[in-house]
Homo-oligomer: A and B are copies of this chain.
Amino acid sequence: MTGIRKFVLTAATLALVTSLGLQGCGQAPSAKTADPLPSWTEGAARDEIVAFVEKVTTAGGPDYVEPAERIAVFDNDGTLWSEQPMYVQFLFIVDRIKALAPQHPEWNEEEPFASVLEGDVKSALAGGVPAILEMAMATHGGTTTEEFEAIVTDWITTATHPKTGRLYTDMVYQPMLELLAYLRANGFKTFIVSGGGIEFMRPWTERVYGIPPEQVVGSSIKTVLEVRDGQPVLVRLPEMSFVDDGAGKPVGIQSHIGRRPIAAFGNSDGDLEMLQWTAAGPGARLCLYVHHTDAEREWAYDRESSVGRLDKGLDEARARGWTVVDMKKDWKRIYPWQ
């Protein structure tokens, strides 16, 4: 029996016991010897994760944490799935601009839309954050929440990655899926805390990560209640409401979760404040950075990258002894299909 099979057996058994209330009657669970993290190489990163989980779940131990307080927060882009060569949500925006172009003949003349329509994304991005926001607002507002959910669902189940030709939801990291399941099996509640759009993630995070919509925190635009054809609808306005990145992440955590996490997982400087906020609480803490070091199986980037830059965060992680995952060395597999 491979490690994966053993793990799946464990997860399935656990799920069965929890959901159906099956009773073991004194039999030692067969799960006991299964490896919950089969895609993780033996080494420091894996050891630190396991040691932390054992500490906070050992009843009566000095670092024991009540299950209700076992909050773990995960960045998404670059932490749970690949963010190269460009944030997935930006590729969604590009596709939405193309889809909406017939209703916006003026975009043929107006930047940054004109460049996108000519296939020149690089020029479109030359306008920096204001240009990106303009494109995001033009493509994320103007629908009801239900219409937007349908658009995202349609896109995420059909659009494919420019390099691998795979669905974006296939570009998730197998070791992180195992880590999510391992934490949940140990009583943790797992949340996404991403700079990405909250309603861009919610339609698929439960299926892909096992994280339900109510445990997704992200950037958002304003919505208002309207009545259309006698029915209430929530209309998405082309106006930012909250940017869940950098110093915004602890704010988003407080707003949505209302308690400080004891474990935080990120990969870029945009996650640094989230890790600092997590580290600043009392008791045992796990702060972990995924370091992209594998140019062959994924991408290698850190201090100089325009997407997912990890510079200050890497220094701080090393200075404070946080866990740094060396993707090339610490992960046996990157994607589930490899």
What residues of chain A have their CB less than 8 Å away from a CB belonging to chain B? Answer: 10, 13-14, 17-18, 21-26, 68, 71, 145, 189, 198-199, 202, 206, 212-216, 220, 223-225, 231-232, 234, 247-248, 250-251, 254-259, 273, 276-277, 280
B25 & A21 in contact (Cβ 8 Å cutoff): no
Min C-beta distance of A114 to chain B, whole Å: 34
B216 & A258 in contact (Cβ 8 Å cutoff): yes
A225 & B21 in contact (Cβ 8 Å cutoff): no
Q: A254: which of B22, B234, B248, B257 is its contact (CB, 8 Å)?
A: B234
Contacts A14-B21, A225-B273 known; 7 new A-B pairs at CB < 8 A: A13-B21, A23-B23, A23-B26, A71-B214, A145-B254, A225-B251, A232-B276
Q: A214: which of B18, B213, B257 is its contact (CB, 8 Å)?
A: B257
B68 & A212 in contact (Cβ 8 Å cutoff): yes
A13, A25, A145, A232 — most chain B CB neighbours (10 Å): A232
Set of chain B residues within 8 Å of A276, measured between Cβ atoms: 232
Q: What CA separation (Å) do A232 and B249 show in the bound complex?
A: 12
B250 & A206 in contact (Cβ 8 Å cutoff): no
Set of chain B residues within 8 Å of A250, measured between Cβ atoms: 225, 232, 234
A280 & B232 in contact (Cβ 8 Å cutoff): yes
Q: Which residue of chain B is the closest to A215 with respect to CB atoms?
A: B214
Set of chain B residues within 8 Å of A212, measured between Cβ atoms: 68
Q: A21: which of B18, B145, B232 is its contact (CB, 8 Å)?
A: B18
B21 & A258 in contact (Cβ 8 Å cutoff): no
Interchain Cβ contacts under 8 Å between A and B, 27 examples: A10-B21, A14-B21, A17-B21, A18-B18, A23-B23, A23-B25, A25-B25, A25-B26, A68-B212, A71-B214, A198-B255, A198-B258, A213-B258, A213-B259, A214-B215, A214-B256, A214-B259, A220-B255, A223-B251, A223-B254, A223-B255, A224-B247, A225-B250, A225-B277, A232-B277, A234-B250, A234-B251
Q: Which residue of chain B is the closest to A231 with respect to CB atoms?
A: B280
Min C-beta distance of A274 to chain B, whole Å: 10
